Structure 1
Amino acid sequence: MSRSARLLQLLHAMRTLAGPVTAARLAEETGVSIRSLYRDIDALRSAGAQIEGERGYGYRLVEDPALPPQMFDQDEIEVLALSLAEVRAWGDPALARAADSVLAKIAATLPSVRERQLLHAIAQVFRPEPRYLSPLDLAPLRSACWQEEAIDIHYVDGDGATSERTILPLALFYTETCVTALSWCCLRQDFRMFRTDRMTEIHPNGTSFRPRRVPLLRDYLAQLEQRRGAKVDEG
């Protein structure tokens, strides 16, 4: 790893770990010796990073030169805090970690007053149980959407019937009760919604459908909007 990449990794560790962070913990995060860690801290300070702390006490990133200052009003701060808290309550470990990382990065760019408001927001989310429960890790499904790669799934429908499908995943749709994959079903040759809590297996099969995802998703959303409009007219 180059030194510049290591310094960026050190900045990220100081953004995301609760301060003050000991030199030993930072050295472990970046894979260097304690002596090298001290040199890296000095290099970041020379580059303009405001880092509080000293050897034997721990370090805290006060101002991060790698991120531009952000200006949010108090209500916008509450929106950010509430939104990220909701993501953490979904029950998806990967997105929960990402939400913590986003919170730390945003906090690092704020003036001290706004930073305290973000980290100690008045708007809170409490869910005694995760909102979305899935027997599978959804990270491969999200990756398949971004990579525009077909996946093979084992699926159990509402009547308990099982099937194997090859689908082109277009987007994940978060409803009140479940996460649904908006997809093109290769078996039915039509758009379909597949609830992720009814998927028992997910296997990317290496078949690319790039660059079809965006136009397919646009067509599917247009169909859904037409159906919604028809129901309103009927009412």
Structure 2
Amino acid sequence: MLHLVATPIGDFTEITFRAVEILKSADVILCESTKETSTLLKRLEIKAKRYEILNEHSTLEDLIKLAEMCKNENVALVSDCGTPGFCDPGNNLIHLCRKNKVPVKTVLGASALMGLLSLSSQRINQFLFRGFMPAENEARSKEWIKLKAEKNAIIIMDTPYRLKKTLEEVVQHFNTRDILLVINLSQEDEEIMEGRPSFVLQSLKFAKAEFMLMIYPV
């Protein structure tokens, strides 16, 4: 069986009782990096029986082996933080497990997306989740032009070191629409900023940080 276990985004005490139970009983902890996951488990006083890796470098051959492992063992899949299977390679494993009739269950918990939506000052009934923007400049520029036609809310993620670059691009393409920027969600230095993109950019204190951004609807 494969359990998709949500882990805390910032504050480790936000983990659920059920997540702790699943992690304790799992034969295998499947994670993006043992460094991040072992740190969390140590704080929770959980000793993993075995670690396996699933990340962006995992091959199809790796995924097939992992799916077979899920058929025979009790596996808990975690990401570095938040809910696995969302903007990470977990969905490829889920596909193979379903194809091979392996049960897949979710253990609900922290979600950056739900955290962002809950902080909105506007009611959001529909939104486009763009996820991570392209890294290459030309593809990135084309994507921004395409997004300008979207009237609903747009939710964007990117790597911490592209925080300022992303805001500068939002100023260029969406400065007549308000935005909501959440930085270091659920951490001690969490910051929530809302308003015109140019105002948010001018008020920015971080050069690099984990973030999620919503462009409000027209």
The structure with more helix, counted as a fraction of residues: 1
Give the shorter-chain TM-score range.
under 0.3
Q: TM-score, normalised by structure 2?
A: 0.24
Q: Relative contact order, CA 8 A, sep 6+: which one is greater?
A: 2
Q: TM-score, normalised by structure 1?
A: 0.23
